[in-house]
Structure 1
Amino acid sequence: MIVFAILLFLFGLVLSAFFSGSETGLYRVSRTRLVLDGLDGSRGAKAIVWLLNHPTLFVATALVGNNLANFLTSFALVLAIGSLYAESALAELIGPILMTPIVFVFGELLPKHWFFQAPYRLLCRVRPLLLLATVLFLPVSLLLAALAVALRALTGQTPFRLRLAMARGELAQVLRAGEEAGILHAGQRSLAGQLFDVGNQLAISFAVPLGRLSTVRLPIDRESIASEARRRNHPIVLVLRGDRIVGYLRYSELLTGEGKVEVRPVIRVSLTERHLTTLLRLYDVAGEVALLCDEHGDARSVVTRRQLLQPMIK
């Protein structure tokens, strides 16, 4: 019985090391390198890329595997202590406490450190076992994925919000490699990082309420509008036709321009539009002003191209 308990404990320890390390390796590995291997014909690399594209699945697999490993090590300790000290409550209490550092160091800490340092090499070695475990635990993993979907429907969030975090980590690796290879300068890497940090935020975070800007109806009274714009302390004056905003004027042109003032077009985007999407749309039409509109098409806020660019170059 003692021999069986020791073998079972060692198997559970190896299982814990395998799932803990491979999970860290999947977070750490370069997707770009795996994709290139897949393009070269590696089926294993293609399978790992597919797994990375479904983070809920591999997180659920690691969760099930670690729980199985913890159960086996705990059961092995109970068997061993029961065989050596049949009715000793003190031994049953002290035994797991003494073995916890061993399980933590060899089943969690060391494997995570190794896979963190060499994720690609170690993942290639354990890839068949990882894919086999994914297939074996698939029924339970799908059940956990369904639970995640149900929680997201109830709370609006999901317990497996990993895709964005993984994409950011992969982007950081690519940018760092580009700087080390001399392709990117430090300033370019910083700008690219800011682009992805800021670009996912809502454009309304950088906008100003509609009431902050001056408005004018056609025809234009240059002097009165310039005075109103100066009082509002904003370089943009919105032009109305009826109750609808059809364009904007620049305050600087009201002061220095001669003759007819040019009314420049605006674009309309949703209140839920992202920063980067709004900025790209402005560049596509060579525009400078975007109106953020609600579901009824009514403008609520205004954002300029300068307001969108400013946080990226800080």
Structure 2
Amino acid sequence: MLNDLPLSLLFSALGVLILLSAFFSGSETALMALNRYRLQHLAKQKHPSALRAQKLLQRPDRLIGLILLGNNFVNILASSLTTVIALRLYGEAGIAIAAGILTLVILIFAEVAPKTLAATHPEKVAFTAVWILLPLLRLLYPLVWLVNLITNLFLRLLGIRLKQSPANVLSAEELRTVVAEAGARLPERYHNMLLTILDLESATVEDVMIPRQEICGIDLDDPIETIIEQIKNSRHTRLPVFKKSIDNVIGLLHLRKLLPKIPADAFDKETLRQNLDEIHFVPENTPLHQLLVDFKKHHKRFALVVDEYGDVIGLVTLTDIIQELVGELTEDESLVQPQKDGSYIVDAGISIRELNRVTGWELPTAGPKTLNGLIMEHLETIPSPGTSLRLNGFKVEILEMEGNVVGKVRIYPQK
């Protein structure tokens, strides 16, 4: 029957079959290369092509079965037509030549070219192909179902159990990689903030707390005049109140509640006691994300941090946690001062996490929480001004000491 058809018609049919083969090959690559999260986003916005693509990808075995069924059918038919054309033009001697030419044509025009195009522009190719593939799947569903059934039975005989693909769930590390590679699509301030939020789970209260020696509080053993003056000049809205030592804390004073009562002649220590709120305590190893939950649950914004013996070692506020998230908006530039020679003058009281965030360095955060602590741990002694050391590949020169702690240092970044 094919021998009776004109050669022009046979060549036209062969061209159509190669185009169909290219369509099936490109469609497979495009659909498998689609970004699943972007697809899900578009589907939620009721994008017609995205909805169809999502429906096809819900059962990838059926999609692959349909595409391979169509691709193999057109390739085999193309091979048959090529054989007929070769016989009519050159006889049996032309079959081998025609087979080689057809292989090269299919490889270039029906495999490599369409798959390369689909891999580089998956949405354009896939969103066009779904309008053909979905009706075709409905039309050929019994045949596709039968092929999948036989395939699954064969795989079971080999001991392979097929399970439905799990939902696309990203781990924290995978999500961090996605955010890190977002590049220019995400503004830098949001980029850094999202990475910090992902790191929040590994950060503890000890990473952001104000150390014990820097806590500003009210000692009830001080004269009432001293206490009033301290309240009037305080830079903080909340102050812990204690007797003799911060370990003997009584409560938390909210200055906005008390300030209107200060001018009154009746103001005294008893009035101060009556205006104290209950203070919140947290262990030093409490994760920051858990502290956020506790603050919300107990309607708190302030907590004292205690160690395993119950001694106060610092305080933490909601502001400290927010600064951990958006620190680049509120950092004190005086803590890290770039110099003309490329070095940095750094206040050693700065937290290592903040120093890493400001400079982009990767100093270790698993041990000491401040630069001073890291230097002390490395030297295992109290240094003197002029001491130099190499800290995690950085040359560090100690410029000032403040008692037994390091004051300022000069850091030369790695080259």
Q: What TM-score, normalized by structure 1, do the two folds share?
A: 0.52
How far does residue 176 in structure 1 lie from its aligned partner after superposition? 5.0
How far does residue 65 in structure 1 lie from its aligned partner after superposition? 1.0
How far does residue 17 in structure 1 lie from its aligned partner after superposition? 0.6
Is the Cα–Cα contact under 8 Å of residues 2 and 79 in structure 1 kept in the other structure?
no
> Structure 2 vs 1, CA of residues 127 and 76 (structure 1 numbering), >3 Å: closer, same or farther?
same
The equivalent position to 1:102 in structure 2, one of 102, 105, 111, is: 105
Alpha-carbon distance between aligned partners in 2 of 1:58 and 1:174, rounded to the nearest angstrom: 28
- Which residue in the other structure is 2:139 paired with? 136
Is the Cα–Cα contact under 8 Å of residues 64 and 137 in structure 1 kept in the other structure?
no
Is the Cα–Cα contact under 8 Å of residues 10 and 85 in structure 2 kept in the other structure?
yes
The equivalent position to 1:23 in structure 2, one of 28, 31, 40, is: 28
> Structure 2 vs 1, CA of residues 2 and 43 (structure 1 numbering), >3 Å: closer, same or farther?
same
Q: Does 1:63 align with 2:64?
A: no
How far does residue 149 in structure 1 lie from its aligned partner after superposition? 2.9
How far does residue 83 in structure 1 lie from its aligned partner after superposition? 2.3
Structure 1 unaligned spans of 5+: 190-314
How far does residue 167 in structure 1 lie from its aligned partner after superposition? 5.2
How far does residue 174 in structure 1 lie from its aligned partner after superposition? 6.7
Larger Rg: 2
Q: Secondary structure at the match of 1:78?
A: helix
Alpha-carbon distance between aligned partners in 1 of 2:75 and 2:85, rounded to the nearest angstrom: 15
Is the Cα–Cα contact under 8 Å of residues 77 and 95 in structure 1 kept in the other structure?
yes
- Which residue in the other structure is 1:42 paired with? 47
Is the Cα–Cα contact under 8 Å of residues 86 and 95 in structure 2 kept in the other structure?
yes
- Letter of the 1:149 partner, please give it: N
- Which residue in the other structure is 2:82 paired with? 77
How far does residue 68 in structure 1 lie from its aligned partner after superposition? 1.2
- Letter of the 1:19 partner, please give it: F
Structure 2 unaligned spans of 5+: 1-5, 183-190, 200-415
Is the Cα–Cα contact under 8 Å of residues 22 and 111 in structure 2 kept in the other structure?
yes
> Structure 2 vs 1, CA of residues 151 and 41 (structure 1 numbering), >3 Å: closer, same or farther?
same
Task: Describe how 1:213-292 pairs up with structure 2 within 5 A.
Answer: none
Q: Which structure's residues are more often strand, by fraction?
A: 2
Q: What TM-score, normalized by structure 2, do the two folds share?
A: 0.40
Q: Which has the higher contact order (CA 8 A, sep 6+)?
A: 1
Q: Which structure's residues are more often helix, by fraction?
A: 1
- Letter of the 1:17 partner, please give it: A
Is the Cα–Cα contact under 8 Å of residues 17 and 74 in structure 2 kept in the other structure?
yes
- Which residue in the other structure is 1:6 paired with? 11
- Letter of the 2:49 partner, please give it: G
Alpha-carbon distance between aligned partners in 1 of 2:16 and 2:173, rounded to the nearest angstrom: 36
How far does residue 168 in structure 1 lie from its aligned partner after superposition? 8.8
> Structure 2 vs 1, CA of residues 36 and 168 (structure 1 numbering), >3 Å: closer, same or farther?
closer
> Structure 2 vs 1, CA of residues 22 and 168 (structure 1 numbering), >3 Å: closer, same or farther?
farther
How far does residue 43 in structure 1 lie from its aligned partner after superposition? 3.8
Is the Cα–Cα contact under 8 Å of residues 61 and 134 in structure 1 kept in the other structure?
yes
> Structure 2 vs 1, CA of residues 93 and 46 (structure 1 numbering), >3 Å: closer, same or farther?
same
Q: Secondary structure at the match of 1:140?
A: helix
Q: Secondary structure at the match of 1:156?
A: coil
Is the Cα–Cα contact under 8 Å of residues 56 and 145 in structure 1 kept in the other structure?
yes
> Structure 2 vs 1, CA of residues 132 and 100 (structure 1 numbering), >3 Å: closer, same or farther?
same
Alpha-carbon distance between aligned partners in 2 of 1:79 and 1:103, rounded to the nearest angstrom: 17
How far does residue 154 in structure 1 lie from its aligned partner after superposition? 2.4
Cα deviation, 1:197-255, whole Å, max 9, x if unaligned, reads: xxxxxxxxxxxxxxxxxxxxxxxxxxxxxxxxxxxxxxxxxxxxxxxxxxxxxxxxxxx
How many residues end up aligned between the 2 structures? 184
How far does residue 19 in structure 1 lie from its aligned partner after superposition? 0.7
Alpha-carbon distance between aligned partners in 1 of 2:175 and 2:93, rounded to the nearest angstrom: 54
How far does residue 2 in structure 1 lie from its aligned partner after superposition? 0.9
Is the Cα–Cα contact under 8 Å of residues 52 and 130 in structure 2 kept in the other structure?
no
> Structure 2 vs 1, CA of residues 117 and 172 (structure 1 numbering), >3 Å: closer, same or farther?
farther
